[in-house]
Amino acid sequence: MARTFVTNPLTLRIIQVGGTTFNRLIFDAYDYINGVLVRREGAPPIPPRDYYYNILTGRRILAGSRRYYELIRANWDIEEDYYLIPPWMEDDVVQEFINGNRGRNLPQRERPVTYEDIMNRHGNTLANLNISLCRECFYPLKLEDGEYCNDCKK
């Protein structure tokens, strides 16, 4: 029997159909349709990933990844809930690095997406498609339907 592979939509890596990762995706939020993993309509939103900044390599390390746990087991510290610090590095050097790079490498803080944000970015495309979005719930509307859907007008 030949093995079948598919692309993991979360990581864009190839996974085996029927394998552990595939089965977890099917159980959690995806359907396997025509050889492709398709996200279910009622699936919960994908949570944002947390990263830590390795000050030696200048790379971000995914929280909970194999590399993250290797560094934690090797007694690396986490400063300001973002910087991964090796155990042998002196505190004054660490503070100087953090103060010099404060705000430069930090991820953008998550803030709710507003109607204006969406329209600034996608307004022209939506207008070309002759649709708009409800100001309240972002439900797609025909341009002639106004700014609010029937549920939000009430």
**Assigned domain for 44 exists:** no
**Assigned domain for 46 exists:** no
**Assigned domain for 31 exists:** yes
Q: Which stretches does DSSP call E strand in the chain?
A: 5-7, 14-16, 30-33, 36-39, 51-54, 59-62, 77-79, 83-85, 131-133, 140-142
Q: Which amino acid is at 111?
A: R
Q: Measured between alpha carbons, how far is 26 from 37 in angstroms, rounded to an integer?
A: 8
Structure tokens given for 73: 């087991």
Bridge partners (DSSP) of residue 62 are 51
Domain boundaries, position 129: 115-153
pLDDT interval class at 141 (50, 70, 90) = confident
Q: Measured between alpha carbons, how far is 100 from 88 in angstroms, rounded to an integer?
A: 20
Which residue has better confidence, 105 or 152? Answer: 152
**Assigned domain for 106 exists:** no
Summarize pLDDT for 6-61 with one digit per residue, the tens: 999 888 889 999 999 999 999 989 999 998 999 998 888 887 888 888 888 888 88
Count of structural domains within the chain: 3
Could you count the other beta carbons within 10 Å of the beta carbon of residue 130? 9
**Assigned domain for 70 exists:** yes
**Assigned domain for 32 exists:** yes
Contact (Cβ atoms closer than 8 angstroms) between residue 110 and residue 125: no
**Assigned domain for 110 exists:** no
**Assigned domain for 71 exists:** yes
- Quick one: pLDDT at residue 1? 58
Q: Which amino acid is at 39?
A: R
Q: Which amino acid is at 121?
A: R
Q: Which residue has the tokens 């929280």?
A: 63
